[in-house]
Structure 1
Amino acid sequence: MKFTDKIRAHGPSSPFFSFEFFPPRTDQGFENLIARISRLASLNPLAVSITWGAGGSTKDRSLDLAGVTQAEYGLDTILHLTCTNMEQGMVDDALKAAKARGVQNILALRGDPPRGEEQWTPVDSRFAHGTDLVAYIRSLPEYSSQFCIGVAAYPDGHTGQLHDERAEIEYLKAKVDAGADFIVTQLFYDVDNFLEWIKKVRKAGITVPIIPGIMPIQTYSSFLRLTKLCGTLVPESVIAALEPIKHDDQLVKDYGVQLAVAMIKRLTSEGGIFGVHLCTLNLEKSVQRVLEDLQWTGIGSSEEVPNKLIEETPTENEHTVTPSNATSSAKIGLANLPAVEGEAGRGELNKAASWDDFPNGRFGDFKSPAFGSSDQWGGPAIGQHAEVIAQCGHPKTLDDLTAIFLDYLHSKILMTPFSPAPLSPESLMILPHLERLTRRGWWTVGSQPAVDGASSSDEVVGWGPRAGYVFQKGFVEFFCKEEDVDAIERKALERGEGWVHWFAASKNGECRGNVPEGARNAVTWGVFPGQEIAQTTIIERESFFSWKDEAFSIWSDWASLYRPQSAERELLERVRDERWLVSIVHHDYRDPQALWTFVFDETM
């Protein structure tokens, strides 16, 4: 059924919600996400949406997932579709495949600008903006009536662009005029700003349903990363509430639930909006707790009040009146949020609901439904191109690359294409070793120190609930030459003594290492009262090779920021084609120097 038809049939005063999922990178993660979706389906969402990687990078998995949710589980599915970086015919193929799977709803997105936009010429000139994609679908007789089309809106402004609210609203209206039926907003946390924004949108003559995008905060680090990626405005009250609890993942998660509940209550009481789009990050417990606290998992509100999700006939003063009981978003802090009833585990359907509650590190568990890209809007893997060039400059030699990675370690620059955030305090614990590796020309892109039973409330390495202990095996990953891989292989064989496991891979798919088939190395784990041991970072073959594909694509993305035949592009593409990605784990977590003694042992 078409999404807007379902909204209208749902009733003006009955709350509804939709869930958003992304396709995991691995087959096991995909299968486990299906099980997770089946559990969440019992909450009766009005629809689910499936994201689409930039340039169709997750095309097959997105279509497969949409087919399962639509055809096998009977969940009306909204398939995201981007238009930039799409090769000729990919849009047609995607629409045909969606129709064949019974999908009737498309979220038409422009996607992020291609890398190196200054020199970019569209592969398919028909698709430069989201408006083009909407108009194109509406122009095709076989698809125009098949699909209900949604578009994105950005209450806090579109990331990567100078914020011109008036121009952005005009562009949003152009998408609606081109044939869009509904709007889903980017995530936001400033309710005051959203309520003012929606008045301006309605005043501009946009009357289609607008569904607010709500993302419960899962971890402090993911909150920082996603709000930066999306250019989200964060009220000072939220920052103040998170600051004293940012090292306690359970308290952060609890606050995320409370904040989402408070936001949605304001949207219903002050904005008259009774429908929200919940970004799940493929996790289930928080969104279920939100809905339970709202009492939206049963019968909706008994009061017959207008649902302003759908604007019927806006009056002249409707856009200027502020409710007398309006509460400033500055007042939404930890102290006066509604308490979450019950224990921390409330809302858990079974153990599978919470087994990956505390994702930590790049790898995670390849079986996790949350193992994959959590960028629900198709943003850039390496950051905005202008920021990358501003930070990393114009590397033309291998020494230039070494200097970039050293500058990052010394905090002279705040990001690299491989590390979108400043160097973590944890990395400072092993900084001399990372410097030594980098000066050798082994450019480090991931690492962690060995930790033996640190408090879970430790401000540097702690995670999870308080009153626990966390452990880490030292590991490091870097790019190096093939002859260096040969040396590492000999050293592990002759001096590893069973303590060292390593992987190495090249861009063309050559793979080496000494990890037994099917072995799984838990390199981060925690012990907490009343819980089984939580293993949050696991390095094994499938997760490493999944990350390998992304890692080498980052070199390609970085290279594409520069003109064809330029020295910068030729250097970065040569590095991509010739270097190997290496990951080394030392299992002696009780000796903080064990990994580095092995890596720098030159006596062989």
Structure 2
Amino acid sequence: MPAPRVSFEFFPPQSLEASFRLWDTVRALAPLRPEFVSVTYGAGGTTRKLTHDAVATIHANYGLNVAAHLTCVDASRAETLDIAHSYADVGVTEIVALRGDPPKGQGSFTPHPDGFADSVELVAALAETGKFKIRVGAYPDPHPEARAPGDDVRWLKRKIDAGASSAITQFFFDTDAFFRFRDACAAEGIAAPIIPGILPIESWTGVRKFATRCGALIPAKLDQAFDDAIAKGREAEQAMDFATDMCTRLIAGGVQDLHFYTLNKPHLTTALCKALGVEVDKSVERVA
């Protein structure tokens, strides 16, 4: 089985301790030679400057291809494009373009009066600049705001047609759900790569809550398997077995790229990549 190409997601630090954790994570994962790494944008644009600083630092100091998250939330079109141009100015030319979550306490997304109405408009504006490779989100499980079956596929088609070159999925737990989604996208005429998003499970209790908020469906058998493993003190082993099996099935089904949501914790992601045959490049300098 061929080893997959890998990419990693980080989030920007909001404290000194979190800064050390981020840079330790970047250093640990850089020798796996990811195709790219991405840095998230907090809900409501709350980490806008932190994201920019983290993106610029990773790009300048670690030799990694960085894709910066960019959202439509709480900013005008001009402000959003200014942020994009600031990335281009420091040599970052990949963007993960997302509508974004509403600010805390706001029940649903409301566009800024002078802002982009949705991710399709954002993608189109970024594509018009000619400066960026644009990635977008995709949803094997129905997006919480999807109104009808097939909405997620049709919406992804609009984003690809607007200028996106690939999609990264929300994390999921049912491999068959990803394959069904991929087949539906192909039937809709989507030829762009759809990269599965993988969430290594450090704590099933935390992941279960996270999944509920994000709309990621949890198979009952998986929930029971983790409950049983936790009762026996085998949660870490169950997490590794599940992730390895899921990734192996994805690769056997023709997937060539995997995107890992690291949560700024490198150890399980590193172990999983090595189990999948991803080579460690020992020549990669670990920047202090």
Q: TM-score, normalised by structure 1?
A: 0.44
2:12 counterpart of 1:23:
yes
| Alignment-derived partner of residue 193 in structure 1 | 177
**Alpha-carbon shift at residue 262 of structure 1 (Å):** 0.4
Q: Secondary structure, in 3 states, of the residue corresponding to 1:149? A: strand
| Alignment-derived partner of residue 168 in structure 2 | 184
The partner residue of 1:208 within 192, 197, 212 is: 192
Instruction: Report if the CA contact (8 A) 1:83-1:110 is conserved.
Output: yes
Matches of residues 118-517 of structure 1 in structure 2 within 5 Å? 122-140=111-129, 144=130, 146-159=131-144, 161-162=145-146, 164-246=148-230, 251-269=234-252, 271-297=253-279
Q: Secondary structure, in 3 states, of the residue corresponding to 1:246? A: helix
**Structure 2 Cα separation of the partners of residues 232 and 152 of structure 1:** 14
The partner residue of 2:35 within 28, 46, 52 is: 46
Instruction: Report if the CA contact (8 A) 2:72-2:100 is conserved.
Output: yes
| Alignment-derived partner of residue 559 in structure 1 | none
**Alpha-carbon shift at residue 99 of structure 1 (Å):** 0.9
Instruction: Write the deviation string for residues 157-203 of structure 1: whole angstroms up to 9, x where unpaired.
Output: 112x2452312211110000000011000000011111111101111
Instruction: Write the deviation string for residues 16-55 of structure 1: whole angstroms up to 9, x where unpaired.
Output: 1001100121134213421321121011111111001123
**Structure 2 Cα separation of the partners of residues 134 and 216 of structure 1:** 29
**Structure 1 Cα separation of the partners of residues 21 and 182 of structure 2:** 37
Runs of 4+ in 1 over 6 A off after TM superposition: none
Instruction: Report if the CA contact (8 A) 1:258-1:290 is conserved.
Output: no
**Amino acid corresponding to residue 79 of structure 1 in structure 2:** A
Q: How many residues align?
A: 279
**Amino acid corresponding to residue 73 of structure 1 in structure 2:** Y
- In structure 1, the gaps of 5 or more residues are 1-12, 300-604
**Structure 1 Cα separation of the partners of residues 166 and 136 of structure 2:** 7
Instruction: Report if the CA contact (8 A) 1:212-1:276 is conserved.
Output: yes
Instruction: Write the deviation string for residues 334-366 of structure 1: whole angstroms up to 9, x where unpaired.
Output: xxxxxxxxxxxxxxxxxxxxxxxxxxxxxxxxx
Larger RCO (CA under 8 A, 6+ residues apart): 2
Q: Secondary structure, in 3 states, of the residue corresponding to 2:234? A: helix
Higher alpha-carbon Rg: 1
Instruction: Report if the CA contact (8 A) 2:8-2:262 is conserved.
Output: yes
Instruction: Report if the CA contact (8 A) 1:257-1:290 is conserved.
Output: yes
| Alignment-derived partner of residue 82 in structure 2 | 93
- In structure 2, the gaps of 5 or more residues are 282-288
**Structure 1 Cα separation of the partners of residues 29 and 273 of structure 2:** 11
**Structure 2 Cα separation of the partners of residues 53 and 298 of structure 1:** 31
2:94 counterpart of 1:111:
no
> Larger helix proportion, structure 1 or 2?
2
**Structure 2 Cα separation of the partners of residues 106 and 259 of structure 1:** 30
**Amino acid corresponding to residue 49 of structure 1 in structure 2:** S
2:61 counterpart of 1:72:
yes
Instruction: Report if the CA contact (8 A) 1:84-1:129 is conserved.
Output: no
CA 257–101 in structure 1, closer or farther in 2 if over 3 Å, else same: farther
CA 121–79 in structure 1, closer or farther in 2 if over 3 Å, else same: closer
Instruction: Report if the CA contact (8 A) 1:216-1:260 is conserved.
Output: yes
Q: CA RMSD in A?
A: 2.0
| Alignment-derived partner of residue 337 in structure 1 | none
Q: Secondary structure, in 3 states, of the residue corresponding to 2:81? A: helix
**Amino acid corresponding to residue 173 of structure 2 in structure 1:** Y
Instruction: Report if the CA contact (8 A) 2:146-2:152 is conserved.
Output: no
Q: TM-score, normalised by structure 2?
A: 0.90
Q: Secondary structure, in 3 states, of the residue corresponding to 2:14? A: coil
Instruction: Report if the CA contact (8 A) 1:181-1:209 is conserved.
Output: yes
**Amino acid corresponding to residue 131 of structure 1 in structure 2:** V
**Alpha-carbon shift at residue 113 of structure 1 (Å):** 4.1
**Structure 1 Cα separation of the partners of residues 77 and 178 of structure 2:** 37
Q: Determine what percentage of the aligned residue pairs are the same residue.
A: 34
